[in-house]
Amino acid sequence: MRPEQISKQDARAVKQAEEQLLETARKVFGTAYPNPERAGRTDSVALKAAAARAHKQPLSPELLDELTWSSETFDEYQRYLREARFGRRMRWLAACAAVVVGLGAALWWSLASSGPQPEEPPVIVQDEPAPQEASAPREPDVPPQPQPAFEVAVLDLRDQSRVRGETEPVESVADLPALPARHVDLTVYLPIGSEEGSYELALARDADAPLTTSSGDAALVDQNIVLTARMDLSVIEPGVYLLAVRRGEFRWAYYQVRVG
């Protein structure tokens, strides 16, 4: 058996012997010397104060002597001593608990302060509505006017002779090229030798007083110069008229046509 083990066993035995001795002393002094009349006994206040100071101040010789001959004093002192020890233990536990709570609160506050702070919601400033201007009176809805229907009309001037003067006799009405008294999509086959380009058209009884005019473009189609244009003949009365044709700023060429 090693020396360290012997020392530990001896210390344990000594401690057990002390506890047995103290227990025997409690039994002896607590019952062997009864003193019910409390003759010469220390009062309870002094005993309680002595028990409260026992952990840091030794007992006075007088009180120590009294504890050996008065069982009642010994029992009362033991009770106060246990109460004092219990009170000190509870105060120590309370202090430890307060320290733990304080440390926990400090740790929580530290973590809460270092963590991300919640963003404050943006302040939305609403603009005041602008005063509404008085709306102008609404004009009544006018239904769209129907577009006139255009009738396709073809006019062949390739073999048609020009009118060279206002006094030139009118050809047979039946032989004249005819146009309907309507809105027409006009296709004109211009005389041989005509050129491509932009043309003007006019319909009149008198060369100086056109009743309706129009314009269009002429292009080469199958070896023919063909002019396309739209004219409003819906207001023209039936009869024989002069159809004036010219390209650009050239002179007018007049042809007799029949309307209606």
Query: Tens digits of per-residue pLDDT, 172-211?
Result: 777 899 999 999 999 999 999 999 999 999 999 988 889 9
Radius of gyration (C-alpha) of the chain in whole angstroms: 69
Across 28-32, 56-60, 108-112, least confident range: 28-32
The fold for domain 151-259 equals Immunoglobulin-like (2.60.40)
The more confidently predicted of residues 214 and 80 is 214
Instruction: Convert the pLDDT of each residue in 142-164 to its tens digit.
Output: 777 777 789 999 999 998 888 87
Distance CA 246, CA 258 (A): 19
- This prediction has a pTM of 0.43
Tell me which residue has tokens 């199958």.
222
Q: For residue 218, is pLDDT > 60? A: yes
| Cβ–Cβ < 8 Å for 177, 258 | yes
- With a CB cutoff of 8 Å and minimum separation 6, the contacts of 252 are 202, 207, 244, 245, 246
